[in-house]
Chains A and B, each alone.
Chain A
Amino acid sequence: MGEKKARRMKTPKVSKNCKPLTAEELREISDKYAVYIKDLHVAFDTQDGCVKAVNGVNMQIEKGKTLGLVGETGAGKTTTGLAMLNLIQSPPGQITAGQIVVNGQDVLHASLKELENFRGKDVSMIFQDPMTSLNPVLTVGDQIAEVISYHENCTAKEAEEKAKEILELVGIPGFRDKDYPHQFSGGMKQRVVIAIALACSPSVLIADEPTTALDVTIQAQVLEMMRELKQKLNTAMIMITHDLGIVAETCDEVSVIYAGRIVEHGTLVDIFEHTRHPYTEGLFNSLPDVTNRTAKLKPIRGLMPDPSNLPEGCAFCPRCNYAMEICKTKKPQKIYDSDTHYVECHLYSCGRQIGDGGEMDA
């Protein structure tokens, strides 16, 4: 009993604001969704103040679907992904509110042992930078076999064999399992990272900018491979990216995140053809027009707000072409455009919309 208690003590601390879910609620949620996040808040306590990285994110992903999480650097995308595994670095960071259910597991109230069983098997994460994500002193085969032997009942030899198979699956010759990470190129390293993530056929895959560090041709290969594997295993996936092109290729639904909040969410068609939020409009406008090479680029002016000093009212207001007085003081609420599409913007509560002119600041 003492040991059990001691183990449970080693749960990453979450704030008391995160209420545990009842078994009923848990079952209800997990029947419908592979991923369920409600009102997630994550803050980091640093020397320079309290950095509010995630400020009320909601997410629901059905099994087998892919959600694209789109936003600029610093919007809180990676933090959201890490929170889903309860891997926020705990001295500075803390999950201050919210509920997270992934594959039927109440993530925020799981013991360390439960989390260790859960990570890598029910849900896996592909990290952004392949250069630093692999342990330099362990062989590639060892790092893949490790995740297999911790989650599946098999001998070391079987794990080794399976690791070789998976390497083949991601397009790396099996005999290279005895090599070290530094002996691979960037693209191959990322494939190893993907191999590790998929080794135990997870039900949910969090891909954090998996192709950002790679060049375009490799990007295409990796995305294709992920798509195939996803279809084979019916994995639900979160594709975290700032690249709208990748979103168009791989996602079923899209959430646009800004300063730690989802400002617009909808299906692929909703977002691409019925864009509602000024920020999303800005993102699309920022893409250079391939057909008109001499056209002026239209970036979004200004910078993302300092997460340790977020403005009152709408976080996008200082950069918004449609900003109104109310935007400065009141945070916008969710407004549904259709069953699948919502946006958080005051324009829509006033009967206006984007594209109807807006104030252009000099």
Chain B
Amino acid sequence: MYRYIIKRILALIPILLGVTFIVYAIMSFQPGDPARTLLGTGATEASIQQLRQEMGLNDPFIVQYARYIWNLLHGDMGISYVTGNDVSFEVFSRFPNTVILAIGAIVFAVAVSIPIGIISATKQYSAFDNIGMIIALLGVSMPSFWLGLMLILLFSVHLGILPSGGMQNGFWSLILPSITLGAESMATITRTTRSSMLEVIRQDYIRTARAKGVPERKVIIKHSLRNALIPTVTVTGIEMGALLGGAILTETVFSWPGMGRLLIDSIGNQNTPVVLGCLVIFAICFCIVNLIVDILYAYIDPRIKAQYK
């Protein structure tokens, strides 16, 4: 088992490098001179050149990239143009908030979608199934930020029972943003669970279980679910990545003080180091989540576990 984990971690490294490389490369296309920006308009040409030398901006691209990675591994992501603080400080002070939001969203998505998916599959073509599928369809077609706005309209403006933004009200603040962020994932996971349950129920081994006289409830939970969950776990992993992207939108709508908001604000301020820092941390998180999903996969499906015994 440990061999499997080590193998997956090792496979992660080239991807992480690739990801950071791409992000860094894209950002380096930005016009403008960081040294000039830092020193402001009144600076002399000489001082700009000197700063460029100090910052290593005249070095070849690969060297700059390597230096960035080196610094990154030491937790140094540069200095914010706007506040002058360490980028790592800026980013990591917001990081927990985004994580809380993401967890809220995924908990909502999974808690709602798996039961609905299972019931829809076992009662195929019933009213429940049809309604469930329509809701899932809507969830996938609705832009998340619009859902957020509509939820605010209903619960904050009209009914006044939930806050429309910020984090001050603790758990209550988390409800609407979690639903907003999680809605699309919920829809996708519901559909996946349903279709994979449907496929599993048609399998021969389910027929065997019934022929043994196993009570129907156990047939669903013990025999079908573990097999059906395999694609569900995969999809959940993929969705977590989408969540990280969607967090940007949700945090904007709900004025949530997370990394997404920081990213958007920094783009507006042309605060490149912070933008880069946010993107890199997001990408790393995504890779790590995928790793965890891969490991979970092995636990659920003994055929994979056995390969690495």
Tell me which residues across on chain A come within 8 A of B112, comparing CB atoms.
Answer: none
Asked whether any CB of chain B lies closer than 8 Å to the CB of A180, the reply is: yes
Among the stretches B168-176, B209-217, B253-261, B271-279, the one at the interface with A is B209-217
- Given A134-B208, A137-B226, are A117 and B303 neighbors across the interface (CB < 8 Å)? no
Tell me which residues across on chain A come within 8 A of B67, comparing CB atoms.
Answer: none
Number of interface residues of A (CB under 8 A): 33
Most buried by A among B207, B211, B222, B300: B211
Asked whether any CB of chain B lies closer than 8 Å to the CB of A147, the reply is: yes
Cβ contact of B205, chosen from A116, A120, A133, cutoff 8 A:
A133
Q: Which residue of B lies closest to A150 (CB)?
A: B213
Contact status B306-A119, CB under 8 Å: no
Tell me which residues across on chain A come within 8 A of B215, comparing CB atoms.
Answer: 116, 150
Asked whether any CB of chain A lies closer than 8 Å to the CB of B203, the reply is: yes
Asked whether any CB of chain A lies closer than 8 Å to the CB of B199, the reply is: no
Q: Which residue of B lies closest to A112 (CB)?
A: B216
Contact status A196-B212, CB under 8 Å: yes
Contact status A117-B210, CB under 8 Å: no
Asked whether any CB of chain B lies closer than 8 Å to the CB of A330, the reply is: no
Q: Which residue of A lies closest to B300 (CB)?
A: A137
Contact status A135-B306, CB under 8 Å: no
Most buried by B among A91, A124, A133, A137: A137
Tell me which residues across on chain B come within 8 A of A135, comparing CB atoms.
Answer: 205-206, 208-209, 223, 227
CA distance A115 to B216 in the complex (A): 11
CB distance from B233 to the nearest CB of A (A): 13
CA distance A193 to B204 in the complex (A): 12
Cβ contact of A127, chosen from B202, B204, B300, cutoff 8 A:
B204
Q: Which of A40-66 contact B (CB under 8 A)?
A: none
Q: Which of A138-179 contact B (CB under 8 A)?
A: 138, 146-147, 150-151
Contact status A151-B216, CB under 8 Å: no
Asked whether any CB of chain B lies closer than 8 Å to the CB of A125, the reply is: yes
Tell me which residues across on chain A come within 8 A of B265, comparing CB atoms.
Answer: none
Contact status B214-A146, CB under 8 Å: yes
CA distance A125 to B211 in the complex (A): 7
Main secondary structure on chain B at its contact with chain A?
helix
Tell me which residues across on chain A come within 8 A of B226, comparing CB atoms.
Answer: 137-138
Asked whether any CB of chain B lies closer than 8 Å to the CB of A248, the reply is: no
Asked whether any CB of chain B lies closer than 8 Å to the CB of A27, the reply is: no
Cβ contact of B212, chosen from A89, A120, A180, cutoff 8 A:
A120
Number of interface residues of B (CB under 8 A): 26
CA distance A120 to B210 in the complex (A): 9
Cβ contact of A85, chosen from B203, B204, B211, cutoff 8 A:
B211
Contact status A132-B210, CB under 8 Å: no
Q: Which residue of B lies closest to A130 (CB)?
A: B204
Contact status A132-B203, CB under 8 Å: yes
Cβ contact of A182, chosen from B211, B216, B300, B306, cutoff 8 A:
B306
Asked whether any CB of chain A lies closer than 8 Å to the CB of B302, the reply is: yes
Asked whether any CB of chain B lies closer than 8 Å to the CB of A183, the reply is: yes
Q: Which of B123-150 contact A (CB under 8 A)?
A: 124-125
Contact status B207-A87, CB under 8 Å: yes
Contact status B211-A87, CB under 8 Å: yes
Contact status A127-B208, CB under 8 Å: yes
Asked whether any CB of chain A lies closer than 8 Å to the CB of B59, the reply is: no
Contact status A180-B214, CB under 8 Å: no
Tell me which residues across on chain B come within 8 A of A89, comparing CB atoms.
Answer: 202
Tell me which residues across on chain A come within 8 A of B301, comparing CB atoms.
Answer: 136-137
Contact status B302-A137, CB under 8 Å: yes
Cβ contact of A120, chosen from B211, B222, B223, B302, cutoff 8 A:
B211
Contact status A121-B227, CB under 8 Å: no
Q: Which of A104-124 contact B (CB under 8 A)?
A: 112, 115-121, 124
Asked whether any CB of chain B lies closer than 8 Å to the CB of A10, the reply is: yes
CA distance A124 to B214 in the complex (A): 12
CB distance from A60 to the nearest CB of B (A): 22
Contact status A137-B211, CB under 8 Å: no
Q: Which residue of B lies closest to A134 (CB)?
A: B205
A-B residue pairs in contact (CB < 8 Å), sample of 10: A85-B211, A134-B208, A135-B206, A135-B209, A135-B227, A136-B303, A137-B226, A137-B301, A138-B226, A180-B302
7 further A-B contacts with Cβ under 8 Å, apart from A135-B205, A136-B205, A180-B303, are A116-B215, A135-B208, A137-B226, A147-B212, A150-B214, A180-B302, A196-B208
A-B interface, 9 closest residue pairs, ranked by CB to CB distance from nearest: A120-B213, A119-B213, A132-B204, A120-B212, A135-B205, A147-B212, A137-B226, A125-B211, A116-B213
